[in-house]
Structures are given as C-alpha cells and as structure tokens.
Amino acid sequence: MDELDARIIGLLQSDARLSNREFARRLGIAPSTCLERVRALTRQGVIRGYHADIDPAALNRGVQAMVSVQVRPLSRAVIDTFKASAGKMPEVLHVFVLAGGDDFLLHIGVPDLDAMHAFLLDRLSKRREVAGFRTSVIFQQVSNPAPGLLPSP
C-alpha cells in the first residue's frame, strides 16, 4: 500500500459510484492506472465489496440499540451457534464477537421501543445460552466515511 492506494481507498469510501474516469481525474492519474490499482486492491482483499448506505429509519428501524450479551456455558460450540442464530434474527443489524466481560455485542434496529422490549424479553432472554444482557439505546450516530490508513509502526 502506498499513498496512491490510500487516496484511491479514501475516494472509494466517500463515493464508490464515481466512474473510473472520474476517479482517475480526481487522482491526477491515467484511467488505465486507476483501474489496475483498483483491481490489484481487490485481488489483495483490501477492497471486499461495494455497498449502499441505507437509512435504517427508511426500513422501519428508526430505534437502534447496542445489546451486550453474555452466554453460558462459554464454549466454541455455544459461541458459534449463538453467532449464527443472532445473525439471522431480523432485528439484528450486526453481530460482534468480543473478548472481555461480554461475549457478544448486537447492533439492533426496530420500529419502536415496544418492538425493542419484545425482542429483548420474548426472543433474546428466552434463549437458554443467554446468561445476561445490557441494552444501550442509540440516540445519534456519527460515522467516519473515509477513515484512511493508520501509520505503519
């Protein structure tokens, strides 16, 4: 990864819908160079895909929360099973497997607080491997659209 690759990644993160010609123009390089660099970053696994940024409220998920979950007994089988089943729950947007006091962090999105309450009490708490959970409602979110690269050590 060099400075040009970092600039390409930054542009892709801010607007992946630009044409190759426009990317090249903004970077000050030839379109063929730009295309080859993007293809190389894809082959190397740096670029994993292109995604639309969807407003959760437009999908009737205007209320969001982070739910910290502890599971027991703590084993690979329990972790793998919970991870797979949580990832299929329609309320769950993201599943994070953690180290530390909590085993999972679930990012959930629901239409309203009643739906959140129902999810927590009727679905999550009834799973026998769930030993406990804590919920933090999200009021606002700020995302870094182009975080860039960290400096090398």
* Per-residue pLDDT, 54: 86
Q: How far apart are the first and last CA of the chain?
A: 14
Span 3-43: which CATH code?
1.10.10.10
> Domain locations in the chain?
3-43, 56-138
Number of CB atoms found within 10 A of residue 72's CB: 12
Q: Which helix (H) or strand (E) holds 83?
A: helix 76-88
pTM: 0.81
pLDDT in tens, 84-105: 999 999 999 999 999 999 999 9
pLDDT in tens, 117-138: 999 999 999 999 999 999 999 9
* Domain 56-138, second-level architecture: 2-Layer Sandwich (3.30)
Residue 152, pLDDT > 80, answer no
**Which tokens go with 6?**
């970092």
Of the candidates 1, 41, 40, 38, the one whose C-alpha atom is nearest the C-alpha of residue 21 is 38
Q: Which helix (H) or strand (E) holds 94?
A: strand 92-97
